[in-house]
Amino acid sequence: MPSVDNNASPPSTKKPLYEASTQFKNWRYSPDHLAHIRSTLNEAAVGVIRKTFEAYEPGSSSNVSFVTADEEHLLVTFYIHKIGQLCGHFRFPEEVEATAASYLKRFYLKNTVMDWHPKNVMLTALFLATKTTNNPISLDAYTSHIPNTIASDVLDLEFLVAQSLRFEFAVWHAHRALWGIWLDIQNLPNTPPDFAKTESAIYDSALTHVRAARLTDAEFIYTPSQIALACISLVAPDLANQWLESKENTPIPESRVDIPPRPSSTAISASLEAIRNMITNSGKVPHVEAVREVDKRLKLCKNPEKVVGTKAYLARKAEAEKKAEEKRNKKVEGQKANDRDPFGQELGEPAAKPGLVDYDDESDDE
């Protein structure tokens, strides 16, 4: 019974799924923008920490050699690599590893290593990723396999990590795109039927490049499919071209107004070239000595307010407690005012305004 849907939604609502994602909307940057975010974040952190040092011991910050934005980035990259090692140990699927790596990278676009050491954040990011990708394991099992780690090390940072991610847990990955392109390639007219078997080394090497790309900023700048195609082109440039041509030669039906115009092939080649360079130049695990050097200096310049037991930490904690106490007192006062007469107010007396519900209402937290 063909008929016209008079309530049909306009075609504009059917943009590509990726373009509707939070990743597309909120986590894409230009290389300059990324550099700017990191340097601003680093400067602000240094400013705050210097002030804290001075407040407790005037002159004490002058000899401190704070870590730079580049050094912060180096440290984070090292811990992305560590995530890979941990995932191998737990035999977590690729999706968990890729997601945890994205979480860690995104976290450090909002936070500094001088406040939160990536060694700790990594554990929380990975545990969160097991849950968001539907591969959960119990916290006990998780911590018991990681030396010197207890449950609170993981859980204490969970809200902070989730907040830093803006509670946007879904991540689109290049390894998925690689799989899609690999399937496409097997469907090309000239591909022999046993191609996937005989040429599986192409896929394996491309996947190695995808993993190397995880150590770079590629995912902040390019789409998962661009990264995947660049990785194939590193291994088998002709194959990548064939796939690209097959896409270019497929006509878009006029009815498909939802498909955006294709980028020019020069634009695509330029992106692919840039990604290849990125993978070759920065897709490497930082040298342990370099990491050690940064970590050593980090010990001396980390935010004392975040280091348990320091004067600054205790002062900050006392301040927070004082505020909470004041709030509680206020609340008790408010209740007292409401409790004056069990039979209600006198006529003519202004009725107490029904207050807004307190988010931190203790009675709700049981």
Partner 1 sequence: MDAVERENSDRQKSWAKEQKVGEGTYAVVYRGREVSTGRRVAIKKIKVGQFKDGLDMSAIREVKYLRELKHQNVIELLDVFSSKTNLNLVLEFLDSDLEMIIKDRSLVFLPADIKSWMAMTFRGLEFCHRNFVLHRGFKMTCQVITPVLRWYRPPELLFGSRFYSSAVDIWSVGCIFAELMLRTPYLAGESDMDQLKTIFRALGTPTEQEWPGHTKLPDYVPVGQFPKTPLRDLFTAASADTLNLLSKCLLYEPRKRLSASEVCGCCSYGSPLYIIPISSPFRYPSHPSKLPKCSTQMAPRPLEEVDGNVDMAGTGPGVKAAAPSKVKLKRKLTSPADESRTRSIARKLDFTKQVNSP
Applying CB under 8 A, which residues contact partner 1?
1-9, 13-14, 17, 20-22, 110-111, 115, 127-128, 131-134, 136, 138-139, 151, 154-155, 158-160, 162-164, 166-170, 256, 258, 356-357, 359-360, 364-365
Q: How far is the CB of 274 from partner 1 (least distance, A)?
A: 28
Q: How far is the CB of 167 from partner 1 (least distance, A)?
A: 4
Nearest CB to partner 1, comparing residues 78 and 127: 127
Q: How far is the CB of 129 from partner 1 (least distance, A)?
A: 11
First to last CA, the chain: 56
Nearest CB to partner 1, comparing residues 8 and 337: 8
Number of CB atoms found within 10 A of residue 346's CB: 8
Nearest CB to partner 1, comparing residues 81 and 117: 117
For 79, the enclosing helix (H) or strand (E) is: helix 69-90
d(CA 180, CA 230): 14
Q: Report CA 111 to chain centroid distance, whole Å.
A: 11
Nearest CB to partner 1, comparing residues 44 and 290: 44
Nearest CB to partner 1, comparing residues 95 and 199: 95
Q: How far is the CB of 279 from partner 1 (least distance, A)?
A: 28
Phi, psi (5° rounding) for residue 358? -80, 130
d(CA 99, CA 270): 27
Q: How far is the CB of 8 from partner 1 (least distance, A)?
A: 7
Q: How far is the CB of 12 from partner 1 (least distance, A)?
A: 12
Among 300, 362, 277, 294, CA closest to 61:
300
Write the DSSP string, 164-232.
HTTT------HHHHHHHHHHHHHTSTT--TTHHHHTHHHHHHHHHHHHHHTTSSHHHHS-HHHHHHHHH
Q: How far is the CB of 75 from partner 1 (least distance, A)?
A: 19
Q: How far is the CB of 27 from partner 1 (least distance, A)?
A: 12
Among 207, 209, 182, CA closest to 196:
182
Nearest CB to partner 1, comparing residues 151 and 300: 151
Residue corresponding to tokens 């290849």: 276
Do residues 81 and 135 lie in contact, with contact meaning Cβ atoms separated by under 8 Å?
A: no
Among 270, 278, 264, CA closest to 231:
278
d(CA 338, CA 332): 10
Nearest CB to partner 1, comparing residues 202 and 312: 312
Nearest CB to partner 1, comparing residues 21 and 68: 21
